[in-house]
Amino acid sequence: MKILKILCVILLVYSVSAGILFDVPRLPILNETIRVLYFHVPMWFTMIFLLFLSSISAYKFISSGDLSYDLKSYNYANIGVFFGVLGVISGMIWAKYTWGTYWTNDPKLNGSAVGLLIYFSYFVLRNSVEDESKKGKISSVYNILAFSMLIPLIFILPRLTDSLHPGNGGNPGFNVYDLNSQLRIVFYPAVIGFILLGIWIADLRFRVLKLKNEL
Amino acid sequence: MINCMVILFLLLQDIAMADVLRSEGKIYVVVLIFLIIISGLFLYLYRLEKKIDSIEKEK
């Protein structure tokens, strides 16, 4: 666990400094904002990873009935959605300076917004049930449903139509023409670094929740 | 004449200054500030973890 935290610090320190200093492809419109790729996209990777862990924990709760899995599932969803919100905000600012507007009715953008709203209602649903085990069961089932809705909303539906967002529709993603080795040597460490940071924060928050439950 | 030579010598000489952070459009300053901010955040996480550790041990 400790080695992962040290790795997280090293990778993020590296990706922040290399993300600003290293050469990037010179592209029209994007200009220097291509560096946002190193920080905006890892937010979504981290969100997906944490929400995946959340649905796994929800499944484990349903099959074992152990309430600590339910708490874990809730906690992962919480941190995952937090990263998702950071992803939306960073994406909106990036969009303002490249597409000219904060929000367009783009399938990728709306898909991610709907996906996040599904998770917001997860928290509402969860907090509206008083009984502990009933709360766990209902929210776990909903959690698995929410994750299986999120995947088509973010990864499948936007690819079926035209989209401004790279990686979808008729618009090739960064990896097709310019996620070259220049970008990769910063992008992948940043993704791993932010995922480790997400796990770290989730771990701390889980321990606080557990201590609070014991009181 | 000697005065002129001295001034010319001083102008031609490469005078060492703390140019490292100022070169290339001061981008290193930005990096330094980012690093300070994220190291502050990491320090905060670390302290928080220590605090949780001590509370867990008390139990």
Residue-wise pLDDT tens digits, A98-122: 888 999 988 889 999 999 999 999 9
Query: pLDDT for A17-54, tens place per residue?
Result: 998 888 887 778 888 888 899 999 999 999 999 999 99
Over range B2-11, report the average pLDDT.
Answer: 64
CA angle A93, A85, A92 (to 5 degrees): 15
**What ranges do the domains of chain B cover?**
26-59
Residue A194 confidence (pLDDT) above 80: yes
Q: Tell me, what's the pLDDT at A132?
A: 85
* pLDDT for residue A197: 96
Number of CB pairs < 8 Å for A and B? 34
Q: Is the pLDDT of residue A171 over 60?
A: no
| Residue numbers in A near B35 (CB within 8 A) | 13, 16-17
Q: pTM of this prediction? A: 0.85
Residue type, A37: L
- Tell me the residue range of the domain where A33 lies: 2-214
Tens digits of per-residue pLDDT, A128-147?
Answer: 999 988 999 999 999 999 99
Contact A157, A107 (CB under 8 A): yes
Closest CA to A143 of A29, A62, A83: A62
Reply yes or no on whether the pLDDT at B31 is more than 90. Answer: no
Overall average pLDDT of the A66-89 stretch:
95
User: In this predicted structure, what is the pLDDT of residue A69?
Assistant: 95
Please provide residue A10's backbone torsions phi and psi, each rounded to the nearest 5 degrees. Answer: -60, -45
Please determine, for residue B58, whether its predicted confidence score (pLDDT) is greater than 70.
Answer: yes
CA atoms of A56 and A34, how far apart (whole Å): 34
Q: Position A197: which residue type?
A: L
Instruction: Considering only the beta carbons, identify the residue of B27, B34, B52 that sits closest to A207.
Output: B52
Q: What is the pLDDT of residue A23?
A: 83
pLDDT band at A168 (very low <50, low <70, confident <90, very high): low
- The nearest CA of chain A is from the CA of B9 a distance in Å of 36
Q: For the purposes of burial, counting CB atoms within 10 Å of the CB of A52, is it exposed (0-12), middle (13-18) or buried (19 or more)?
A: middle
Chain B contact for A16 (CB, 8 A cutoff): yes
Task: Give me the number of domains chain A comprises.
Answer: 1
* CB atoms B45 and A204 under 8 Å: yes
How far is A169 from A163, CA to CA, in rounded Å? 5
Task: Compute the average pLDDT of residues A161-189.
Answer: 71
Cα separation, A105 vs A155, whole angstroms? 16
Q: Residue B1 — very low, low, confident or very high, per pLDDT cuts 50/70/90?
A: low
What is the chain B residue with the closest CA to A14?
B35
- Residue A28 has a pLDDT of 80
Nearest to A207 among B28, B35, B56 (CB): B56
